[in-house]
Structure 1
Amino acid sequence: MKITDLSIVFVLIFLPIFWVISHNTDNAQEAQYLSNRYKMALQTAVLDAGAVMHQNEKQNDEAGYDSTKFVKADKELALTTFTQTMALNMGIQDDPAAIRAMFNYIPAMVVLDYDGYYILANENEMTGDLEDSIRQVWSPKKPYTYSDSNGNSINFTLDGYVYAYDAGLGMWVEGFQKELASSTQIPLLQNAETFEQIRRSRIVTSVQEDLADVINRHNEFARRNGVSYTFTMPLISQEDWYNSINDTGLMAFIQGIPVGNQKINNYAIGGGRLVKKTAIVGGVDPVSGIKYYYPSTCNNGYRAEEVFTNAKQAAAQGYFEYNCSIN
């Protein structure tokens, strides 16, 4: 057989293989692009929503209570802002049907208020119309509660301020833990370190348990709308959980959107701080391809890929710190 014949045979055998490999590579790159796009859209939407949700609730009391967290969480404004930003970043801002479909893949949202939390989820309503009986509704505010075996009850807040029932005194009291330690008989208020550990643990556990239940129930609604993905509580690090309760804020989850042969499963947390922090952007140097993170106020011309709430999150995703002062 001539060399030219062997070449033809080689091409006929391996060309389809090369085409399949090239096609799969293109699909993988497209999937990665879409995954990053959805992730960035979610993080940006949560940050935008968190930025508009803080309104002073007790203007006259803030100085007296020495707390920066007496704020009213405007959950409706947060939801509107979140929806607008998500729709804009996904290119569906002019398509109401697509926006409604988007929420099939958002099983829950949580608004952390100063003295309790709300969860947005799909619920059945008695409308008489089976096709139109599902509504997105906010739960009533759920306080961060704790009780002990002595009959004492405590409603925690996002700082050391508490509303407590002292069973020994038979009365309700309120104030900071350090102020109530000497005037009440509630054991948990006597030790600042133990109080802080229990406070954080109880708030996180309460939200986790309710979220797991809501996300599990979302599967029923998703199946009705043709979504076959099984929604589950995402893995969130303990550090992220504890950081999320340092201030009022919002948590959102997006799951089940197909990207290539995989499905998106992501979450984002945004704070509603009274003093807004500058967002951290993760971008790529178009020349070197190196990933850098920098403040959103930095004008370096890089292509933004992701948005983070702090530098530590960006570094964990493989971004290097960029020195904006050299611009």
Structure 2
Amino acid sequence: MKVFSLVFSVMFALLLLLPSKLNQNIMVKAENAKNEYHEAISSSCEDAAKALLVFNDGYSTELGAEGKKENFKRVDLNLKEGLNRFYRSLYINLDIEKDYAQQQALRSQIPIIVAVGYDGYYIHSWQETKKENKYNVINVWSNKKKYSIFDDKLDIKISYTLDDYVYIEDYRRNEKLQGDRRNFADTYPKYFSDINFGKVKNQVINQLLQKDLEYYTYYCNRTAKRNGWKLKFEVPYWDSRSVDTVAFVAFFQGRIFRAMDSYDSYGFGSAKIVERKQLYGYERAGNKYYSEHKAGNGLTNFFNEYEAAENGYSPDPQYYR
């Protein structure tokens, strides 16, 4: 009798422990799968960010052939190559490069992609088109969205870039200005002083991005509902990330892993911006020269040698031989 009681107690204990053990194994597998997706998306975004800077025009190709670094002010992002590289890398990382059905399912769970450029950003998302009373959904890139803010009290519009270069439209003075923000710190200290510039700039860019994420999420949810798709997206939270490099960001939503709720994440890949040197233009002995030195009168500044030459300045023979 005692033996029977002991055996029964052991079996009862095992029955109690078994569901807990099974659930634990499911949780571990789900967590591993979640980490796999996060790493795959992040890695693919890194690859895509670099591809955004693949030369996409004749001038940039010419610079590359000469061994010069890209001019991030003038070169448009290669959106097509960035997007292609992202998905190619993602399919390989998740081992679905030959599974078309899984690829399409995965694409439907990435409703919003952001490409961050030097003077603006682009959003890749859904767009409904109507033809013969039928709706079709395609994926498209938006036009460039500038990092701009309008101050109605000062009656000025400011457009930021990823470095200290700014564009100003002052409607009261009927002026259009551009250059290093330090040149305008005394006139517009609220925006360009050493204390305020970084904080205000990041706040402006983050608010613009968050506002667009809210709009595109709403649009995607409305599109899914209209087409009877069982998809529902939450508004991604951009947080207070400082935007100071060319970047590729993909928002992944709605994946259900066993034993956990819907999993949302985003991958952030960046390509380090090449810091530009300060190039000055000036006059000396009746000639217009440029160099990295303040070596004459009538100082101005340029983004690079190409811009200086366009404005009639030649390399200063004292420094270019």
TM-score by length of 1: 0.71
Q: CA-atom RMSD, angstroms? A: 2.8
The 5 A counterparts of 1:27-38 are 27-38=26-37
What's the counterpart of residue 95 of structure 1? 99
Which residue of 197, 200, 203 maps to 1:198?
200
Give how far 1:209 is off: 0.8
- Residue 86 (str. 1) matches residue 85 (str. 2): no
> Secondary structure of the residue that 2:221 maps to in structure 1?
helix
The 5 A counterparts of 1:148-297 are 148=151, 149-181=153-185, 186=188, 188=190, 191-223=193-225, 224=227, 226-228=229-231, 230-238=232-240, 241-242=241-242, 245-262=243-260, 263-274=262-273
Which is greater in Rg? 2
Asked if the contact 1:121–1:137 (Cα under 8 Å) also holds between the matched residues in 2, the reply is: yes
- Corresponding pairs, count: 262
Aligned partners of 2:197, 2:126: CA distance in 1, in Å? 35
Q: Structure 1: where are the runs of 5+ without partners? A: 62-66, 276-327
Deviation per residue, 1:101-120 (Å, 9 max, x gap): 11221121111111111111
The residue identity in structure 1 corresponding to 2:259 is N
Identity of aligned residues (%): 23
The residue identity in structure 2 corresponding to 1:88 is I
Aligned partners of 1:189, 1:29: CA distance in 2, in Å? 50
Aligned partners of 2:42, 2:228: CA distance in 1, in Å? 25
Greater shift, 93-102 or 6-15, is seen at 6-15
Aligned partners of 1:34, 1:85: CA distance in 2, in Å? 17
Asked if the contact 1:125–1:134 (Cα under 8 Å) also holds between the matched residues in 2, the reply is: yes
Give how far 1:216 is off: 3.0
The residue identity in structure 2 corresponding to 1:37 is E
The residue identity in structure 1 corresponding to 2:246 is T
Aligned partners of 1:174, 1:8: CA distance in 2, in Å? 85
What's the counterpart of residue 124 of structure 1? 128
Q: Structure 2: where are the runs of 5+ without partners? A: 64-69, 275-321
Aligned partners of 1:206, 1:180: CA distance in 2, in Å? 23
Distance of aligned partners of 1:145 and 1:4 in 2 relative to their CA distance in 1, 3 Å threshold = same
Which residue of 139, 142, 149 maps to 2:142?
139
Give how far 1:235 is off: 4.2
Aligned partners of 2:27, 2:239: CA distance in 1, in Å? 27
Give how far 1:14 is off: 3.4
What's the counterpart of residue 41 of structure 1? 40
Asked if the contact 1:121–1:214 (Cα under 8 Å) also holds between the matched residues in 2, the reply is: yes
Which residue of 56, 64, 76 maps to 1:72?
76
Aligned partners of 1:256, 1:21: CA distance in 2, in Å? 27
Aligned partners of 1:49, 1:255: CA distance in 2, in Å? 19
The residue identity in structure 2 corresponding to 1:193 is I
TM-score by length of 2: 0.73
Aligned partners of 2:192, 2:252: CA distance in 1, in Å? 41
Give how far 1:187 is off: 5.5
Give how far 1:68 is off: 6.8
> Secondary structure of the residue that 2:196 maps to in structure 1?
helix
> Secondary structure of the residue that 1:169 maps to in structure 2?
coil
Asked if the contact 2:120–2:161 (Cα under 8 Å) also holds between the matched residues in 1, the reply is: yes
Aligned partners of 2:133, 2:11: CA distance in 1, in Å? 60
Aligned partners of 2:2, 2:244: CA distance in 1, in Å? 72
The residue identity in structure 2 corresponding to 1:261 is A
- Residue 108 (str. 1) matches residue 112 (str. 2): yes
Aligned partners of 1:28, 1:189: CA distance in 2, in Å? 49
Asked if the contact 1:104–1:225 (Cα under 8 Å) also holds between the matched residues in 2, the reply is: no
The residue identity in structure 1 corresponding to 2:107 is F
